[in-house]
Amino acid sequence: LAKTTQPISMDSYEGQEVNITCSHNNIATNDYITWYQQFPSQGPRFIIQGYKTKVTNEVASLFIPADRKSSTLSLPRVSLSDTAVYYCLVGDFGGRDDKIIFGKGTRLHILP
Amino acid sequence: NAGVTQTPKFRVLKTGQSMTLLCAQDMNHEYMYWYRQDPGMGLRLIHYSVGEGTTAKGEVPDGYNVSRLKKQNFLLGLESAAPSQTSVYFCASIMREGTTEAFFGQGTRLTVV
């Protein structure tokens, strides 16, 4: 598992684009980058995963530079309902890594 | 297709009592995990299993035991509950290869008084 560093908290306003960056300097060749979202009183929910360049789905985009030592989760035009904790995980889950370890995540607070 | 189901959803225990939390998944997943989450904190891994009949310790295993007798079920036991085990417990499962997508249950809120 690669150690990850992400901001503890962020505030933004409705309608804005939010970018959350995660640093993972010791990412390994087979590691994937995965982001989860957790609302209060619920279990985490998978948002997006990627290996390199850019991945986009109906919820978010994930940008990964060529050196893969960081990644950025981008949430377009956020709403109040995007207030949640966002976790960045890096590893070869189901392969080399058996454990799925969550860090403290980034607490995103969307303001009206 | 129910996904990952945890039983019970809520429980209050007295110090020293024992209980078992059940996690059931119907997706034929190999890997299963138990986490605890204290207020305002991230998830901490208690125990996990990489297949039927296997278990392993996570970050905070003390005071808990687990069993995976059937592939679809992962049980978490508290032999002698303590107030420090008051927490929300989440179970998760993942397919073995080629994915990083874990599926989580709805959580069990446990209070030990």
The string of pLDDT tens digits covering residues B42-92 is 899 999 999 999 999 999 999 999 999 999 999 999 999 999 999 999 999
Residues B10-35 pLDDT 10s? 999 999 999 999 999 999 999 999 99
Chain A: closest CA distance from residue B20 (Å): 19
Q: Left, alpha or beta for B82 (phi > 0: left; psi -120 to 50: alpha)?
A: beta
Min Cα–Cα distance to chain A from B96, Å: 4
Give the distance, in angstroms, between the CA of residue A71 and the centroid of all CA atoms in the same chain: 8
Residue A98, beta-bridge partner list? none
Backbone phi and psi for residue B83, each to the nearest 5 degrees, phi listed first = -55, -30
Q: Which residues of A touch B (CB under 8 A)?
A: 32, 34, 36, 41-46, 49, 85, 87, 89, 91, 93-95, 98-105
Q: Name the pairing type of β-strands B65-67 and B56-57.
A: unpaired
Residues 6+ apart with CB under 8 A from A58: none
